[in-house]
């Protein structure tokens, strides 16, 4: 681990693996513009099974963020926590109230609906992600339909808006855009959803996105 700043009053340590769910957290951290330390795991080498890592995430998955000794796992929980702790002051997270509810809604939707359906699809579809014995065309078609229906919902929500919540970019945009980019990469082409395509182009042009894609 490398400390980028000495003697700072609090610490944020980000445990990640390149090209994983941790990219969403990485992007959110970059948007906050705060110093943090990175600890890279090699998932192929099973670093996630090491006892010191299991102690901060018994699920053995990245990302994990440790804030002043408190470990937080699940990327949606991390985005919400960072928003509440630091994002309001930095104007990238709404204050408590109805706009906060909008942000929460989309961050939770990202993981509980979109990412869950994408994962189901990848586990059964005829792609490199699923072993041949696990592939199931009927289940894959159903999961594909679910993902497309969800992208349709998002596209409708983005009509006439610059960002998810309106004119102001929030951490919810970074979190969701990271997963939508992943969906695009695995075959759910966003070009066919005009509002998503415009929003995703604006989001991925932000420097935080490029940083989150670095190994
Ligand atoms: N729901 C979790 C998913 C985390 C996740 O699945 N991480 C994967 C990388 S994309 C992982 O660490 N896998 C290692 C393993 O399962 O052994 C989140 O959003 O944080």
pLDDT single digits (tens) 104-140? 999 999 999 999 999 999 999 988 888 899 999 999 9
Ligand 1 within 6 A of CB of 122? no
Report how far residue 179's alpha carbon sits from residue 188's, in angstroms, rounded to the nearest whole number. 11
What is the rounded average pLDDT of the residues 92-111?
98
Q: What is the pLDDT of residue 7?
A: 53
Task: Pick the residue whose CA is nearest to atom 6 on ligand 1.
Answer: 61
What pLDDT is attached to residue 3?
41
Report percent pLDDT > 90 for the chain: 91
| Residue 65 beta carbon below 6 angstroms from any ligand 1 atom | no
Nearest to 163 by CA among 194, 202, 197: 202
Q: Tell whether the model's pLDDT for residue 161 goes beyond 70.
A: yes
SS3 197: helix
Tens digit of each residue's pLDDT (9 = 90 or more) over 32-74: 999 999 999 999 999 999 999 999 999 999 999 999 999 999 9
Is 65 in contact with 15 (CB distance < 8 Å)? yes
Taking residues 99-107, what's their average pLDDT? Answer: 98
DSSP 109-138: HIIIIIIHHHHHHHHHSSSTTS-GGG--HH
Using pLDDT thresholds of 50, 70 and 90, give the confidence band for residue 4: very low
Pairing of strands 12-16, 37-40: parallel
- How many A from CA of 168 to the centre of ligand 1? 30
Report pLDDT for 8.
Answer: 56
Q: For 163, phi and psi rounded to 5 degrees?
A: -130, 170
Q: Are 138 and 131 in contact (CB under 8 A)?
A: no
Question: For residue 111, what are its two tokens?
Answer: 């993981």
C-alpha distances in Å from residue 92, one per residue of 100, 147, 158, 171, 202: 11, 27, 18, 6, 16
Helix (H, G, I), strand (E, B) or coil at 163: strand
Which atom of ligand 1 sits closest to the CA of residue 76?
19
């Amino acid at each position: 681990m490398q400390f980028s700043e000495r003697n700072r009053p609090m610490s944020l340590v980000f445990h990640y693996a390149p090209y994983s769910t941790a990219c969403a957290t990485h992007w959110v951290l970059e948007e906050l513009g705060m110093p943090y330390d990175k600890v890279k795991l090699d998932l192929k080498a099973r670093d996630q099974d090491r006892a010191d890592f299991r102690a901060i995430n018994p699920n053995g998955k990245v990302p994990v963020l440790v804030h002043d000794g408190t470990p937080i796992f699940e990327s949606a929980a991390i985005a919400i926590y960072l928003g509440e702790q630091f994002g309001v002051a930095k104007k990238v997270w709404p204050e408590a109230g109805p706009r906060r509810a909008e942000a929460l809604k989309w961050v939770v939707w990202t993981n509980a609906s979109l990412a869950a359906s994408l994962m189901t699809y990848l586990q059964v579809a005829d792609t490199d992600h699923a072993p041949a014995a696990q592939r199931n065309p009927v289940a894959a078609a159903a999961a594909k339909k679910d993902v497309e229906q969800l992208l349709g919902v998002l596209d409708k929500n983005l009509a006439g808006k610059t960002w998810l919540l309106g004119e102001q970019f929030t951490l919810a945009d970074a979190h969701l855009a990271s997963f939508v980019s992943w969906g695009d990469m695995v075959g759910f082409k966003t070009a066919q959803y005009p509002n998503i395509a415009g929003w995703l182009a604006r989001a991925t042009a932000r420097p935080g996105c490029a940083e989150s894609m670095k190994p």
